[in-house]
Amino acid sequence: MQTSISGVEIELQFFNEATLRVIKHPKGKDFIKQSLSVILKPLPTKLVIKEEGNILSVRSSKLQVFLDLKDGKISFFDLDKHLLLTEKHAGTDFTDFDDAGSKTYTVSQCFLLEKEEEIYGLGQQQEGKMSKRNTKLNMIQGNTDDYIPFMLSSKGYGVFWDNYSPTVFEDNATNTYFKSEVGDGVDYYFMYGGNADTVVSSMRMLTGKAPMFPLWTFGFWQSRERYKSQDELVDVVKKFRELQVPLDGIIQDWQYWGNNYLWNAMEFLNPAFYDPKKMVDEVHGLNAHMIISIWNSFGPNTKTYKSLDKIDALFNFITWPESGVEKFPVNKEYPSGVRVYDAFNPFARDIYWDDLNKGIFSLGMDGWWMDSSEPDHLDAKTTDFDTKTYLGSFRKVRNAFPLMTVGGVAEHQLKESNDKRIFILTRSAFAGQQRYGANTWSGDVNASWKALRNQISAGLNFSLSGIPYWNSDIGGFFLWDFKKPLTNLDYRELHVRWMEFGTFCPMMRSHGEGVPRELYHFGKKGNPTYDAIEKYIHLRYSLLPYIYATSWDVTSKNSSMMRALVMDFDNDKNALNINDEFMFGKSILVAPVTEAMYWKNLTKDDTVTPIEDYSVVKTKEVYLPNGTNWFDFWTGESIQGGQRIKKEAPLDIIPLYIKAGTILPFGPKVQFATEKKWDDLEVRVYEGADGEFTLYEDENDNYNYQKGMYTNIKFSWNNKSRTLTINDRKGAFSGMLNDRKFNIVFVSKNKGVGAELISKYDKVVSYSGKKIIIAKD
């Protein structure tokens, strides 16, 4: 449907029953756009269209829209005529703009929100806030801030502003608006679902579904800035194996290529990496996986730089590193000459992959750590944004850079081989990036209690922006606030609390600069810090059957792994703006400890040697959402929801609560994710409500699951009849288990719950794929 009102062309385009695209542009001007984010094509949608007076109404089976033919204002309603969102009167603006020689506009659109409404999403910011009401954001990609112009409302709708230029988002007492520096028109998508899960699902349907990660990516990861030789890296994996502490991934950070003039050569030119194939093979021989740092910029002495320069695919603005001299402080008298490549250029992306494939992927590397994917843009000047890209000025497409560079690697790798699922860890993101097998980390955050707390809302809003995989550097990247951090008791507690939080993030990875963070640098077995770190690594592996099943929900049902409380408790107003709790999957409530319990400001005097005394136990206040009962994970105690409680939180305890009706599988004790098959699982039943859980299994890597090669086993708990049903196994794949045991535990107060596997079970059943009904005595 298209019409012209007051010199503005307006087009309403339904993509499906719940998703509508709105396009506005000045009359007489062409609007031709191939979205970088949106990949869904409009589906045939049955519509009822009426015109009454000055109002044009369009109704689908899930949504109705009213267009005021007099002033062009658009309003969105549900089928019961409840107002969801409306544009502000005269809220669309086009301002003539010369974008590096191209005539275009600065564009904006204002909306009106209800006073009690909360909004979420918009990417990741380090503000410590869940709701984005009364917020102004200058949306230009940065190291620790990722911007995705998608907002999700507590009223059950979402708006995706499909623009890639620097954008201001603001919500204030007058209105809510997006304003972008460059645009041939206003272009946004409205989607209605009634709840956050459905809206996120609509965003994924629009911009791409998230594929499965390999099982090993959900194990524990260790990295450091940086391992300085291949021997040092391999020795870390060996040390974990000697200590019998689980590990699945090791990461090599920068400078394996040599000096800064060889920046990101995508070859091992540093002599300390004398036999990279041997290094990768040794890591694999230790049953671990390896990924490696790659950047989006190149030093002037690299082959890739020279190839890109020939096709004019290098930008001229200042990026990291500024100096060719590797020691600090930065010496700008010896400029590095490093330049960012034009990821918008398909021929440049071809060159990038060809060199990466020959230099590193061919060695058997398991994945990529794409650093500076925003990219680093230092001392930014207005003229820098005039830089030409393959798709126009850098200003026009600036925020979509991470989408293009991550997508370039993913698409090329998939063409090269589908034996290995794509896994990319990256520092920045844009709408649609989930379709490329990418996990975003929160950037180079400084270690502090405030930073730890801020990670929670940062990760949750990122997930609410449609991208489900996220993590932070466990322990914080920089250690500016701590002297002698490994012996500083305040930092030791912070590191443990961050490790506890990281256990319940989609990726669990310890990383940082300055001092090494491997657990054995914090002491030996028997030391409280060491023991707490080890405890949570083991707990992570115990939860792998639950985590992998949740990841299947992410792929198959567009679900989310790290869930803001609004996703599951939108009827509980007390839960809508809580910024230090979340659901991990749909069953586990996590309330990280985000302030020092023991050692705050204790170790400023280096002449005093404090003693690790954890005899005093403090408490953390936790809100348990209404509408369900909860079980304390550690004690098995049942607690009614809708109240605030205090939970004792000694060093090795993070408050965890399991939703009534949960069926929670526990995996075997292992040293790596695939060491043992899941043929002897413990299954914990948390009574008090009906519940379901589906155990998902496949070949753990490759893309055969997309061909239907996987199995599901559905467990159902009927609270009234007190019966657990294990249904028929569905599906098949090569190497699947035909026979197994399930060890059933009905959780109750003080009955052997918590991190450890239970030694005495209520029921032990043999299962060969056929339905079993188990009655609780």
> What is the C-alpha separation between 111 and 633, in angstroms, rounded?
43
The secondary structure element, H or E, covering residue 532 is: helix 528-542
Max Cα-Cα span within the chain: 82
- Token pair 């936790």 is found at 622
Q: Which of 170, 350, 354, 444 is catalytic?
A: 444
Q: Is 374 a catalytic residue?
A: yes
Residues 747, 753 contacting (CB under 8 angstroms)? yes
Residue-wise DSSP of 175-217:
-EEEEEEEESSEEEEEEE-SSHHHHHHHHHHHH-PPPPPPGGG
Question: Within 543-684, where are the H helices?
Answer: 544-557
Q: Which of 371, 490, 500, 682 is catalytic?
A: 371
Residues 97, 123 contacting (CB under 8 angstroms)? no
- Which of helix, strand or coil describes residue 426? strand
DSSP assignment letter at 454: H
The secondary structure element, H or E, covering residue 158 is: strand 157-161
Residues 476, 451 contacting (CB under 8 angstroms)? yes
> What is the C-alpha separation between 282 and 171, in angstroms, rounded?
53
Radius of gyration (C-alpha) of the chain in whole angstroms: 27
> What is the C-alpha separation between 402 and 399, in angstroms, rounded?
7
> What is the C-alpha separation between 669 and 676, in angstroms, rounded?
8
- Which of helix, strand or coil describes residue 145? coil
- Token pair 């002599």 is found at 271
> What is the C-alpha separation between 211 and 422, in angstroms, rounded?
9
Cα–Cα–Cα angle for 189, 195, 200, rounded to 5 degrees: 50
- Residue 362's contacts (CB-CB under 8 Å, 6 or more residues apart) are none
* CA neighbor of 33 nearest in space, from 390, 362, 391: 391
Q: For residue 424, which phi and psi values (nearest 5 degrees)? A: -125, 125
Residues 637, 631 contacting (CB under 8 angstroms)? yes
Residues 641, 571 contacting (CB under 8 angstroms)? no
As given in the structure block, the two tokens for residue 729 are 């196994």
- Token pair 């105690």 is found at 637
Number of separate helices (H) and strands (E) present in the chain? 11, 45
Q: Count Cβ atoms below 10 Å from residue 358 Cβ, excluding itself.
A: 13
CA atoms within 13 A of residue 341's CA, in its CB half-sphere = 33
Q: What residue ranges in 55-146 does DSSP mark as E strands? A: 55-59, 64-68, 74-77, 83-99, 102-112, 119-121, 136-139
Q: Which of 9, 181, 267, 374 is catalytic?
A: 374
> What is the C-alpha separation between 594 and 501, in angstroms, rounded?
9
**Residues carrying an active site annotation:** 371, 374, 444
